Structure 1
Amino acid sequence: SRCHPNDMYVLAGDFNFPDIVWPVFPASMPFESWRTLPKQCRDFVDVASALSLCQMNNQPTRGSAVLDLFFTSKPECVMGVHLMEPLSDHASVNVEMTISTYKYNPLTKTILNYPKANVDAICANLVSFTTSYMEDFASRSTNENWNLLKFKLLQLADLFIPKVNIRSSVEKPWFSARLKKLLNKKHRLYRSAKLSRSQDAWEKYDQCNLTTKLEIKNAKRKYFNEDLGNIMRTNPKKFWTVVNPKQGRQSFSFSDDVGNKMSPLEACERFSQYFSEVFSEDLFPLPDYYPDSNMYHEMPQLTISATGVLKLIDEQHPNSTPGPDNISMKLLKLCKHECSTLLSLIFQQSLDTSDIPDDWKHAQVIPIHKNGPKNEFGNYRPISLTSVPSKLMEHIVFSNVMNHLCINNFIFVNQHGFRRSHSCETQLFEFSNDIHENLHSRLETHAIFIDFKKAFDKVPHHRLMLKLRSLRIDPFVTEWIAGFFSNRTQCIHYESKDSSPQQVKSGVPQGTVLGPLLFLIYVNDLPTRIQSMIRLYADDCVLYRKIEGLDDCMLLQSDLTFLETWCEEWQLQINVSKTKYLNFNNKRTSTQFNYTLFSIPIENVQTYKYLGLHFTPNLSWEPHINHVTAKANQTLGFLRRHLHSATRETKLIAYTSLLRPKLEYASLIWNPHQSYLIDKLEAIQNRATRFVLRNYTRTSITTLKQQTNIPLLADRRKITRLTALHHLYYHSPSKKEKYCPAANHVSARTDNSQKLQLATPRTNTFKFSPLQLSISDWNSLPDDIVTVKESIRFRSAIATLYNT
């Protein structure tokens, strides 16, 4: 692997290890089962892990045992694994992979060279254009005014911004034109020497061959020691295309129903057909929906100013992808003062008349792979690329509507998706805390994890508008949103091809600014009649209840029945096969109940992945940590292969940006207290530290970490939970009473002034639960730290305290 670090390795065959539970070794196995495995099995798994090989076949090949395995160093290249008819007593394993060949067809495209644009000429032309443009502005429609401005901007870009032809590079990033000339010269000299067979010709070839090898070696050294570090500082996007495990966008071939390979245009049309099939049409009559609108304050009338649009343009990222109209954010930023004036007039006209330009209602949809085989259309989600000016208008509408909803406390308190100061981690913290408290009280918790089917794409527009009109939003804004959704079209863009346009009959487009907010509004009334606890993260829903008897089970089932009624009324679908039931308990015998949805039994599982965490009935985090370390090992193997010659600085940034986040995601919730799990996590960082310093000798790992200023992961997790508790204590007044109870007794001699009440634990699970462990750490802090109210100063103070 040192000689060919970038090559793909494949290891396949009958390994005859029936005791190992795949897919992710040993994440699917309890620690006790892992310990009882034969030594040769554990040694085999350790070697595979150390070599960063990923096992892709999880299906039994003989009886119920997975004996025939397929390892690869590049799992991202595996599109699918299927079993075929056996040729012997073992099933045949068919693996579909994308493997690069040595013949490439590089793409050439023309782009605008914005740094060399004649900005003064563009602005001067826009100023003169504005005079004639404003003369008949009021007599033209919004669509006409927008088209005039769009064509003018594109015309000025064509005249005053130089064009550059770029070619997608298929060579190694360090490969240069000089090296290519040397290689061509070497090949010519070799052919000449072989034909002439003269000593002089062979000496010329040998000299050129030596020079070429030396130049390649120097080019590699220069790229990894100098260029890559400079790229990292000046062009982070280019740096991540080198380092990112996804290795850019890869194309995959698709086949039709009879197995023939599809052309890119045929694949576009099939994607378009698949994405259009999920749309739903409003069923009439609409539901009776008469909430008390008087409970909400009326939203002030929205007025759009040039100053506000200018500020908004300044806040946007310049590299955002342009939509189908080809107006980029870079172009708007070049002439932002002139554009902000003209756009503010168009925005206000569009708002006043509910007339939305056609370009703003058309989306270019990019299929993005979710999971599963990459050659199946159902494993992609549609992401919409819409007009950049349209997104600016959406930002204005979004901020004003969201402000109105927050003032009226409209959004469901347990909805953590797409909200400021809310995240996956806050959702997981509150959910896991409820489970911990119930386990501490010797109570079971039955949790139903609801899976909505294509929820964002199935929102019916008339039903959505019914809810919007009840919120006392500015009527001009409401009607603008109605116009924004009417007569929308989309086309699929894949492999430089576009499908024919399709009408968008339902849904809130993913990739738009308004989409997430409108979805939150649509599902906001779902919990109103739920008697159990329900938590939402956008369309991720968990419904749970502490169980003291069968009556509680019946109440939970009645909530599921109400959920059925709500979904039928508001035309959202639940995927019952992906909806799971998990019984949280630490009892030998637990309450059993058969929950159903639409008369279909819900599967009872022993582990469930919710928002990235693997939950188990007794809240053991060992399966999750095993999964995390296995994934981190794969990432470390990738970094070793691609950055083996890079500088220490580059490797360290790659580790802290790509690998360490995998070891720390939501660690507030799953922080382990068992030493063997703590060591297992730290072992990944130890290996990464040796990779960063390229020191694989017996040098003390503590010394190496001090050289790189890499703190222990356990210390970083401690800082994370203290920071989270600090935020609850000082910056979340609505949650402080529940999660930060004041201590019953505070000793002036031994306690800090902000001491919190710590519950008496009955089990280690509760003792080391996120909240209890955070309170314990908080109470041990000195008074001069716990009294610091600013989050940044507090985090800095505890980092200094723990020498991190």
Structure 2
Amino acid sequence: MPLVCFFSQIPLVQPPVFHADPCVNSQPCGTSFKFRQVRSTDVQQAINKLSNSSGPGPDGLEGKFIKLASHVLAPLLAVLFNMSFDTCGVPLAWKCTKVIPLHKGGDLQILNNYRPISIINSVVKVFEKIIFNQLSDYLSVNNLLTQCQSGFRKYFSTTTALLKFSNDIFSSFDDNLCTGAIFLDLSKVFDLVDHYLLLDKLHAIGLSRSSLLWFNCFFHHRRQGVSYRGCQSDYTGIVKGIPQGSSLGPLLFSIFVNDMPLCCTDCNIHLYADDTVIYCSKPTISGINLSLQHDFNSVQQWLLANKLLLNKSKSYSLLFHRKALDIGENNLNLCFLDSSPLESTETFKYLGVWLETDLSFKTHVQVMTNKLNSRLKILYQSVNCFNFLVRKRIVLQLLMPILDYADIIYQNTTASCLHSIDVVYNSLCRFVLCCPFRTHHCVLYRHLSWFAPSAMRQYHWLQFIFKSYYLNYPVYLKQHLVLYNSLYSLRHNDQIFFVVPRVKRQVGKYAFCFKAPYDWNKLPFSIHSLTSQSFEGPSGNIFGTFVFVSSFVCLTLDLEFIGHVFIISHLYVLIFIYLLLLLLLLSSSSMFLFVFLLVLDLVQC
């Protein structure tokens, strides 16, 4: 099978040598990582996190069967795992992997269009979760992972990476600068990780010799087979790569590329797993070209030294600007190490969000609404086959996540784009309720107990600001939430206000460094004290009141942090009370009575 040869390349084997790489961040003095003894409670917690829907590994055993017998297996597996640590050995059966090629798009005959997803034994999944917890805790406590990496880390996400990137671009727009960016794509990045280089990097961050010997045994003598369309190949030995789809693989890859940002001296760099962007802001295009080319060359040399392959056909450059440029200056002139040109583009999909030169997110909104409309058109063909509950589940689980993803990123788009989102959102509501086209959206929201899209975006935004301050969110975002100290704030210690920086232009107000503290400070005083006192941590409840829509309408929300349960206060009662107070100012009693009856009729409707 061509897929077997493609996913099972066998390079030459080298003897293991442990030495520190000078490019890797060294561990703090006096710190060292060594595997802790595994308790049965640790095994039980790892088993509980197994997915019931995951397919069987090479052993043919599904995770749900492990969960059914967890109370019996947990003590036995704890003994096996501790024996593995003590002997620095891993059974050969635990090093077999079943690879399922997942088509990413494009021509089905091109092998590069497939992503290999590794499925390991259920017992190994439990073991890897335990190792992941121990190793990630060590990295987090000692702050060994660079802040430039947002992939596969707690409190880091694509949203935080996009906010960091967009904040830097909007800030450059505010300073009347242009920003040039290079988006890199790496080919078969998980499959090309060299085990010996990875062992060197693990040694450099402080792993003990016994831990290194265990990883050395874990990496070597691995075997994998490809399963495609019901056909299973023979298992072939591999000496490169880490499993993509396992718990431990992404963390090991983050350690492997942890020293890549050190190559960039003139530009910024940010990574989400293997998705890498290099960017810098300058007043002139020539200055951007010089800085980007210098650091781009350094990154390419780092990739060659670490035996990773750059996909030239899927790497692009993009120039962000909001000022008039001379003819011929609207593109970047960059090249690879072999002098071949780097292709320039005006739109690029980065971490699931379409970006364009002015960062207006018009392309993203258009692609998103077109996708929803096309799927909704297909669903309408069989709308009579589903009852209300099924239609609601389809929308909530298949369509609504498309709208919710990165909604706090594209919230600064144009009014026409936001209106198109409202239109498709109302269409989703009509599909659930099977209402006529002319049904007013307020009626739809009331029957479904759903928020308007603008209110939902604002809630997600304020919730994100709240978490950024109270939780251990990335420093590159939390550093912009600086507490405002004054005599007034000292007298009201329960109130939280942030310093709002000054901006020169309207576009600067879209940056996270301005918009986050500004929007938070606009909330009523009662909300600041309520949220600060009621937050109990990741497993607790967050109770908050957030202002939506207008100056006289307040929606009181109660968010269950892990349940996503929303309780809406009586909106119409609030509207009625506020309007009634306004009507008291009217001099004519007849006019007061007429408007009073009209408002009462509207509330009853």
**TM-score higher than 0.5:** yes
Larger Rg: 1
Q: CA 1:426 to 1:281, structure 2 compared with 1: closer, same or farther past 3 Å?
A: farther
From 151, 169, 175, the counterpart of 1:435: 169
Aligned-partner Cα distance in 1 for 2:501–2:75: 60
1:739 aligns to what SS in structure 2?
coil
What residue in structure 1 maps to residue 114 of structure 2?
A: 380
1:467-492 C-alpha deviation (Å, 9 max, x unpaired): 11222224333222211111111111
Q: Is the 8 A contact 1:741 1:757 kept in 2?
A: yes
1:378-422 C-alpha deviation (Å, 9 max, x unpaired): 322111111111111111211111111112211111210000000
2:281 counterpart of 1:546: yes
2:85 counterpart of 1:351: yes
What residue in structure 1 maps to residue 359 of structure 2?
A: 619
Q: Which runs of structure 2 are paired with 1:552-567 in the superposition (5 Å)?
A: 553-567=289-303
What residue in structure 2 maps to residue 582 of structure 1?
A: 318
What residue in structure 1 maps to residue 398 of structure 2?
A: 658
Aligned-partner Cα distance in 1 for 2:292–2:258: 20
Q: Read off the aligned partner of 1:547 and give its amino acid letter.
A: K
Q: Read off the aligned partner of 1:275 and give its amino acid letter.
A: F
Shift of 1:568: 1.4
Q: Read off the aligned partner of 1:577 and give its amino acid letter.
A: S
From 209, 222, 225, the counterpart of 1:475: 209
Q: Is the 8 A contact 1:282 1:463 kept in 2?
A: no
From 411, 430, 439, the counterpart of 1:699: 439
2:372 counterpart of 1:640: no
1:478 aligns to what SS in structure 2?
helix
Aligned-partner Cα distance in 2 for 1:493–1:415: 32
What residue in structure 2 maps to residue 522 of structure 1?
A: 256
Q: CA 1:329 to 1:700, structure 2 compared with 1: closer, same or farther past 3 Å?
A: closer
Aligned-partner Cα distance in 2 for 1:795–1:716: 16
2:254 counterpart of 1:513: no
Aligned-partner Cα distance in 2 for 1:382–1:617: 33
Shift of 1:718: 0.6
2:261 aligns to what SS in structure 1?
helix
1:667 aligns to what SS in structure 2?
coil
Q: Read off the aligned partner of 2:310 and give its amino acid letter.
A: I
Shift of 1:284: 9.2
Q: Is the 8 A contact 2:179 2:288 kept in 1?
A: no
Q: Read off the aligned partner of 1:589 and give its amino acid letter.
A: L
Aligned-partner Cα distance in 2 for 1:776–1:600: 46
What residue in structure 1 maps to residue 60 of structure 2?
A: 326
Q: Read off the aligned partner of 1:272 and give its amino acid letter.
A: V
1:798 aligns to what SS in structure 2?
strand
Q: Which runs of structure 2 are paired with 1:200-279 in the superposition (5 Å)?
A: 269-277=1-9
What residue in structure 2 maps to residue 72 of structure 1?
A: none
Shift of 1:293: 4.7
Q: CA 1:284 to 1:561, structure 2 compared with 1: closer, same or farther past 3 Å?
A: farther
Q: CA 1:517 to 1:708, structure 2 compared with 1: closer, same or farther past 3 Å?
A: same
Q: CA 1:737 to 1:394, structure 2 compared with 1: closer, same or farther past 3 Å?
A: closer
Q: Is the 8 A contact 1:416 1:423 kept in 2?
A: yes
Shift of 1:296: 6.1
Q: Is the 8 A contact 2:501 2:513 kept in 1?
A: no
Shift of 1:307: 3.4
Aligned-partner Cα distance in 1 for 2:496–2:223: 57
Aligned-partner Cα distance in 1 for 2:212–2:74: 24
1:318-357 C-alpha deviation (Å, 9 max, x unpaired): 4432211123333333333332222222222222222221
What residue in structure 1 maps to residue 555 of structure 2?
A: 802
Q: Read off the aligned partner of 1:274 and give its amino acid letter.
A: F
Q: CA 1:606 to 1:747, structure 2 compared with 1: closer, same or farther past 3 Å?
A: farther
Q: CA 1:394 to 1:794, structure 2 compared with 1: closer, same or farther past 3 Å?
A: closer
2:225 aligns to what SS in structure 1?
strand
What residue in structure 2 maps to residue 241 of structure 1?
A: none
From 449, 459, 465, the counterpart of 2:193: 459
* Greater displacement, 624-633 / 769-778: 769-778
Shift of 1:439: 0.7
Aligned-partner Cα distance in 1 for 2:79–2:520: 54
From 333, 336, 344, the counterpart of 1:604: 344
1:442 aligns to what SS in structure 2?
coil
What residue in structure 1 maps to residue 334 of structure 2?
A: 595
Q: Is the 8 A contact 1:668 1:770 kept in 2?
A: no
Q: CA 1:661 to 1:795, structure 2 compared with 1: closer, same or farther past 3 Å?
A: farther
Shift of 1:632: 1.0
Shift of 1:270: 2.2
2:98 aligns to what SS in structure 1?
strand
2:245 aligns to what SS in structure 1?
coil
Q: Is the 8 A contact 1:619 1:765 kept in 2?
A: no
Aligned-partner Cα distance in 2 for 1:772–1:624: 23
2:545 aligns to what SS in structure 1?
helix
Q: Is the 8 A contact 1:438 1:444 kept in 2?
A: yes
What residue in structure 2 maps to residue 237 of structure 1?
A: none
What residue in structure 2 maps to residue 766 of structure 1?
A: 508
Q: Read off the aligned partner of 2:269 and give its amino acid letter.
A: I
Aligned-partner Cα distance in 1 for 2:235–2:250: 24
Q: CA 1:754 to 1:682, structure 2 compared with 1: closer, same or farther past 3 Å?
A: same
Aligned-partner Cα distance in 1 for 2:113–2:30: 41
From 762, 767, 778, the counterpart of 2:520: 778
Percent of aligned pairs with the same amino acid: 29
Aligned-partner Cα distance in 2 for 1:475–1:302: 14
Q: CA 1:589 to 1:504, structure 2 compared with 1: closer, same or farther past 3 Å?
A: same
Shift of 1:745: 7.2
1:412-436 C-alpha deviation (Å, 9 max, x unpaired): 1121000000000000001100110
Q: CA 1:742 to 1:453, structure 2 compared with 1: closer, same or farther past 3 Å?
A: same
What residue in structure 2 maps to residue 710 of structure 1?
A: 450
Aligned-partner Cα distance in 1 for 2:101–2:463: 38
Shift of 1:714: 0.7
Aligned-partner Cα distance in 2 for 1:362–1:445: 46
Q: Is the 8 A contact 1:302 1:474 kept in 2?
A: no
Q: Read off the aligned partner of 1:594 and give its amino acid letter.
A: N
* Greater displacement, 279-288 / 294-303: 279-288
1:80-124 C-alpha deviation (Å, 9 max, x unpaired): xxxxxxxxxxxxxxxxxxxxxxxxxxxxxxxxxxxxxxxxxxxxx
Q: Is the 8 A contact 1:728 1:739 kept in 2?
A: no
Q: Read off the aligned partner of 2:62 and give its amino acid letter.
A: S
Superposition TM-score, scaled by structure 2 size: 0.82
Q: Read off the aligned partner of 2:555 and give its amino acid letter.
A: Y
What residue in structure 2 maps to residue 101 of structure 1?
A: none
Aligned-partner Cα distance in 2 for 1:579–1:409: 31
Q: CA 1:548 to 1:746, structure 2 compared with 1: closer, same or farther past 3 Å?
A: farther
1:222-250 C-alpha deviation (Å, 9 max, x unpaired): xxxxxxxxxxxxxxxxxxxxxxxxxxxxx
Q: Is the 8 A contact 1:728 1:735 kept in 2?
A: no
Q: Is the 8 A contact 1:448 1:544 kept in 2?
A: yes
CA RMSD of aligned residues (A): 2.9
What residue in structure 2 maps to residue 92 of structure 1?
A: none
Shift of 1:696: 1.4
Structure 2 unaligned runs (5+)?
A: 549-553, 557-567, 569-605
Q: Read off the aligned partner of 1:684 and give its amino acid letter.
A: V
1:546 aligns to what SS in structure 2?
strand
2:476 counterpart of 1:740: no
Aligned-partner Cα distance in 1 for 2:143–2:381: 51
What residue in structure 2 maps to residue 303 of structure 1?
A: 37
2:101 counterpart of 1:363: no
Aligned-partner Cα distance in 2 for 1:464–1:763: 47
1:492 aligns to what SS in structure 2?
strand
Q: Read off the aligned partner of 2:349 and give its amino acid letter.
A: K
Q: Read off the aligned partner of 1:533 and give its amino acid letter.
A: N
Q: Which runs of structure 2 are paired with 1:336-347 in the superposition (5 Å)?
A: 336-347=70-81
1:454-508 C-alpha deviation (Å, 9 max, x unpaired): 1111111111112112222243332222111111111111233211222223111
Shift of 1:450: 1.1
2:57 aligns to what SS in structure 1?
coil
Superposition TM-score, scaled by structure 1 size: 0.62
1:36-62 C-alpha deviation (Å, 9 max, x unpaired): xxxxxxxxxxxxxxxxxxxxxxxxxxx
Q: CA 1:758 to 1:293, structure 2 compared with 1: closer, same or farther past 3 Å?
A: closer
